[in-house]
Amino acid sequence: MKNFRRTKIVCTLGPAVSTLEKVVELINAGMDAARLNFSHGDYEEHLKFIKLVNEASKITGKFIPIIQDLQGPKIRVGKLKTEPIELKTGNFVFLTSESIDGDNETIPIQYEYLTDDVKAGDTILLDDGMIELKVISVEGKKVKCEIVDGGILKSHKGVNLPGVELQVPSLTEKDIEDLKFGLENGVNYVALSFVRKREDIINLRRKMEDLGRVVPIIAKIERIEAVKSIDDIIELADAIMVARGDLGVELPTEEVPVLQKMLIKKANIAGKPVITATQMLESMVSNPRPTRAEATDVANAVLDGTDAVMLSSETSVGEFPIEAVKVMNRIIQAIETQYNFYGPVFDSNLKLRDEVDAIGRAACLLAQQLNAKAIVTITHTGATAKSIAKYRPAVPIIALTDNDEVVKLLNLVWGVTGIKLKEISETDKTIENAKIQLRESGILESGDLIIMTAGIPLFQRGSTNMIKVERI
């Protein structure tokens, strides 16, 4: 397979790529999944992007999944009378949950439990960490704070309460309405913001069941509580996102790189896809080339073992959205051509969970020892392809399925290329048809050695029980 890239690219859609031509360009440049940020925009805009992605997928012949990123219980500064206001280091300021027009003496915070949850000594961060306050006292419906690091503040900027256990539900009323809209209009993944504990995942899945459609859940790791409960969260979620923006506000900056590696490693061991996100090529919002530090950041995420890297402002509102994807594509391919895969196959931490996992590991070992061109799996749910990807083989993983949705979902999984089977029959005939389809499409050539897995009978959930060595 020419120009085969294992690590996937997620692009956030926005005004910078709001035409069919631009979305097609994104796909051709290397976009594997599209993200819709429900912190911004209205339903009309989101529906437009859903239709654009589906149309662009037909034009390019690629199955692009859509990730609905729910806003979650984001706490924000309320309305200020005049803005911006200046908060000077060393001065004192009051915060209140009351709905008032604020000034540099009293600032409204859109969180009704503010005075219940914070106490003297707590840190409060405004504008995503740019301004730091220290709680001096709680006085009725106001919180008196000392300004530790001052700055300029505008209305509706983000507020973080690191280490404070919040009373807000993981799903807000807005999230539930947005979720209903997303499921009705065919989103393929739902990303849950500000996850804190396993119950947050359970509640979202139950809400999906109530709404009549369940899709995979991506747990966004961006709070300290989530880090403390990470094993439970990874177990219950279908994937995780290392959301370094809010995580870098909640934690000291120097801890984020180590935490990123730990989160990716844990997801790899569990066989769950992991997305590394936030400010990967941030300078490309306004520049046609990234900094060397940004290129190194992308490279390190790839070397850490991430399944996907994500672009946010770079593609949604940036001046060079297509160039950003092309640059990311080139960086990934440059790293992957130098990296020695197969190491994880022998990692003692990767425990076999079930028969499908054992077949996945065996397929990787056979592919290595026989110098196979690819591992081909016939799958109904995509579970076998994910099990194979867990062991990071050096050869492409080709997942053949009867299910359009599965092809889309696998586009987020490391090393996997999902393909819709054209002809389905009994087992032996389907395997032969699959080999013909792979040859005629130019993916593989006559004589290529492949490792094949399937389940007998075909296309039954959890039935993978066969592994074969075949030639195209």
The DSSP secondary structure of 160-197, one letter per residue, reads E-TT----S-SS-HHHHHHHHHHHHTT-SEEEETT--S
Environment class of residue 2 by beta-carbon count within 10 Å: exposed (0-12), middle (13-18) or buried (19+)?
exposed
Report, as an integer, the average pLDDT of 245-260: 90
- pLDDT of 60 reads 97
* Backbone CA torsion sign across 256, 342, 64, 207: negative
Q: Does residue 345 have a pLDDT over 50? A: no
Separation between Cα atoms, residue 378 and residue 305, nearest integer Å: 25
Tell me if the domain spanning 75-160 has CATH number 2.40.50.100.
no
Q: Which CATH superfamily groups domain 8-72+169-337? A: Phosphoenolpyruvate-binding domains (3.20.20.60)
**Contact (CB, 8 A) for 444 and 450:** yes
User: Taking CA 39 as the corner, what is the angle to CA 33 and CA 44, rounded to the nearest 5 degrees?
Assistant: 75
What topology is assigned to 343-471 in CATH? Pyruvate Kinase; Chain: A, domain 1 (3.40.1380)
Residues in CB range of 253: below 8 A, 6 or more apart: none
- The per-type count for the chain, helices as H runs and strands as E runs, is 16, 22
The pTM (predicted TM-score) of the whole model is 0.92
pLDDT band at 347 (very low <50, low <70, confident <90, very high): low
Q: What are phi and psi of 375, to 5 degrees?
A: -110, 120
Residue where the block lists tokens 């290329």? 417
Q: Which is more confidently placed, 250 or 219?
A: 219
Cis peptide before 216 (omega within 30 of 0): no
Choice among 232-241, 260-269, 435-444, 450-459 with the minimum mean pLDDT: 450-459
Q: What is the CA radius of gyration of the chain?
A: 24
- Dump pLDDT digits (tens) for 365-398: 999 999 999 999 998 899 899 999 999 998 999 9
Q: Does residue 309 have a pLDDT over 80? A: yes
User: Taking CA 60 as the corner, what is the angle to CA 59 and CA 61, rounded to the nearest 5 degrees?
Assistant: 95
Residues in CB range of 400: below 8 A, 6 or more apart: 376, 377, 378, 379, 419, 420, 421, 434, 437
Tokens of 251: 């934690």
The top-scoring range by mean pLDDT among 100-114, 154-168, 336-350 is 100-114
Residues in the chain: 472
Residues in CB range of 297: below 8 A, 6 or more apart: 280
Q: Which is more confidently placed, 129 or 398?
A: 398
Q: Where are the domains of the chain?
A: 8-72+169-337, 75-160, 343-471
**Residues annotated as part of the active site:** 35, 76, 220, 278
Tokens of 421: 């089977």
Tokens of 133: 């306050």
- pLDDT of 426 reads 72
